[in-house]
Amino acid sequence: MSLEKVIKISNLEVKYDKSTILKNINLNIKKGEILGLLGPSGSGKTTLIKTIIGMKRAHKGYVEVLGHNMPSLKVITELGYMAQSDALYEDLSAMDNLLFFAELYKLRGKPAKNRALELLSLMDLEKDANKAVKKYSGGMKRRLSLAIALIHSPQILILDEPTVGIDPVLRNSFWHEFIKIKEQGGTIIITTHVMDEAYRCDRLSLIREGEIIAEGSPEELINSSNSSNIEEAFLYYSGFREGV
């Protein structure tokens, strides 16, 4: 794994109205790494990734992506983002959605269509490629949203609970693709509540009430807290369980 830091976060504080959502976040993310953000709903995970991609501004500290302070248009084409809620053109087909977003990243013509077909196959949407998205199930929409995040082969892929509503077999195929992206030097940040996914990450940042309470590989977090699994480790670092 490369030691090159593609994302640097220093003393980050983010507020919404008068409430502080993120407090003193310090985090470095390496090239070719899968980082998992693990924490309960409302802990600040989504706010953190939105700040990384430039959708929210820091009130204190900074976020640097590929050498540029965020928000910055200079790195937007190197980021792939999949939100918790699907942002799709429902009157268009899956293929038309993919080609539309490909155009935004200046991917056109035959290369765009070939990439779209590749992703439709990966997401098991080939037979529904020309169906209007409004006729898709929730799980199908999640698959299409991931395909859109991947359409331009970004250096950094940021996924907010990407496998919600996805069956276990397809989830496994997604992770096969994530590992392949990592092996090719891509960087992935993923938020998840699925514990078996946490074990597939190279490193985890445990987040609670807007703060990182622990960081390390799944094995390191389990061993350092004398836990038998990640759930127990999270409880330990949250102060709800003493080490044994």
Q: Give the SS3 label for residue 158.
A: strand
* pLDDT for residue 1: 42
Task: Give the pairing type, strands 5-16 and 60-65.
Answer: antiparallel
Over its length of 244 residues, how does the chain's per-residue pLDDT go in tens digits? 445 899 999 999 999 888 999 999 999 999 999 999 999 888 999 999 999 999 999 999 999 999 999 999 899 899 999 998 888 999 999 999 999 999 999 999 999 999 999 999 989 899 999 999 999 998 899 899 999 999 999 999 999 988 877 788 888 888 888 999 999 999 999 998 777 889 999 999 999 999 999 999 999 999 999 999 999 999 999 987 665 4
The dihedral region occupied by 210, where left means phi > 0, alpha psi between -120 and 50, and beta the remainder, is left
Domains and their CATH numbers in the chain:
5-86+155-238 (3.40.50.300)
Residue 2: the pLDDT is 46
User: CB neighbours (10 Å) of residue 208?
Assistant: 18
Per-residue pLDDT, 243: 52
Separation between Cα atoms, residue 155 and residue 143, nearest integer Å: 20
The tokens describing 212, both together, are 């990182």
